[in-house]
Amino acid sequence: MNSVADADPAALADEKRRLRQLRMVVDLTCNVLMQGRLPRDEAEDLVAAARRRALELFPDKEGTYELILALYERWIQTRSRRAATLLAERGIVPVVPNGGEGRPQ
């Protein structure tokens, strides 16, 4: 038996719609991150929003999304380290909001 052939056409159409939405969210998130203009906290907020939307669209796929999220987080960390190194090489000390105590609540 072929499960795709046996599937409900309405369910398949709904899944295709949700996949298109997820692809748009991920593509937009990647494009904004690749521009490199967001501060780290805003980049993390953007990734968190993409995660929330992905889980709204596919609530049973959290494990899969966590694998993708790890790639986003690694990219953000790499970019942050690279930016900090470039600033240090130029003798620039980055301003840490909130006295270095983390993001404001």
Using CA atoms, how far apart are residues 96 and 102, in angstroms rounded to an integer? 8
Contacts of 53 (CB under 8 A, 6+ apart): 21, 22, 25
* pLDDT of the residue at 76: 72
**pLDDT tens digit at each of 105 positions of the chain:** 456 667 799 999 999 999 999 889 988 988 888 787 888 889 889 988 988 998 999 999 888 878 777 777 777 777 767 766 766 676 665 544 444 444 443
pTM: 0.62
Q: Residue 10 is encoded by which pair of tokens?
A: 């309405």
* pLDDT of the residue at 10: 92
Q: In this structure, is residue 35 part of a structural domain?
A: yes
Q: In this structure, is residue 41 part of a structural domain?
A: yes
Total number of domains constituting the chain: 1
Run of H or E residues at 55: helix 40-57
Q: In this structure, is residue 3 part of a structural domain?
A: no
Q: In this structure, is residue 30 part of a structural domain?
A: yes
**What would you measure as the largest C-alpha separation in the chain, in angstroms?**
66
* pLDDT of the residue at 83: 66
Q: In this structure, is residue 104 part of a structural domain?
A: no
Across 1-105, where does the E strand assignment appear? none
Q: Which domain holds residue 30?
A: 8-91
Q: In this structure, is residue 53 part of a structural domain?
A: yes
Q: In this structure, is residue 102 part of a structural domain?
A: no
Contacts of 16 (CB under 8 A, 6+ apart): none
